Amino acid sequence: MSETQADSLDALAPWLGGVLQKLEPGERIGLTRKIGKALRDANAARIRDNVTPDGAPMEPRKSKRDRRGRLRKRRGRMFPKASLARNLRAFARPDEIEVAFRPLVAGTAEIHHYGLTAPVDPKIPNSIKVRYPARPLLGFAPADLEAIDKEVADWLAR
């Protein structure tokens, strides 16, 4: 997360905290659930579009050559299943929201998010290990902060 994102989150925290303290626990969970869903949807859309949270395109995959030495084109998105609602979950509690991957997808997501070294095929023993480029998958964008403000304003207007 960049320094400006952290600053804007810090500025948002007291205002949102004050609003949340005035709500009943049931209302708080409803509001945090709506905010969590909005954040999950925004992150899923970015993953589908192969865009990092700061708006830069993700580093593309390496091209692969077939047996004859010709370049094989890679089709489709980079993380096709990571952005599905069943794999990207939003957990809402009265005081916090967590957007995380399901455990089966979390390992792959962690490797790509932080740019770690991992075997190409974990099912094969002694598979070659590759250092993957860092491709941040989850994070806050300026539009996410505006979406949080909108959700809170809509909730309070009810």
- Kindly report, residue by residue over 59-86, the tens digit of the pLDDT: 888 777 777 877 776 666 788 889 898 9
Q: Are 137 and 112 in contact (CB under 8 A)?
A: yes
CA 47 to centroid of chain Cα atoms: 7
Of 39, 58, 38, whose CA–CA distance to 48 is shortest? Answer: 58
Where are the strands (E) in 75-151, listed by range?
88-92, 97-101, 117-119, 129-131
Count of structural domains, the chain: 1
Range of the domain at 53: 3-157
pLDDT of residue 16: 67
* Contact between residue 136 and residue 46 where contact means Cβ atoms under 8 Å apart: no
- How many Cβ atoms from other residues are within 10 Å of residue 64's Cβ? 9
How, if at all, do strands 64-65 and 71-72 pair? antiparallel
Cβ atoms of residues 9 and 145 within 8 Å: yes
- The answer to whether 57 and 48 are in contact (CB under 8 A) is no
pTM for the model stands at 0.79
Could you identify the residue written with the tokens 């998010």?
113
Q: Which pLDDT score is estimated for 24?
A: 83
pLDDT in the model for residue 142:
85
Q: What is the pLDDT of residues 80-133, one digit of tens each?
A: 889 898 999 999 988 788 999 999 899 999 999 999 999 988 889 899 999 999
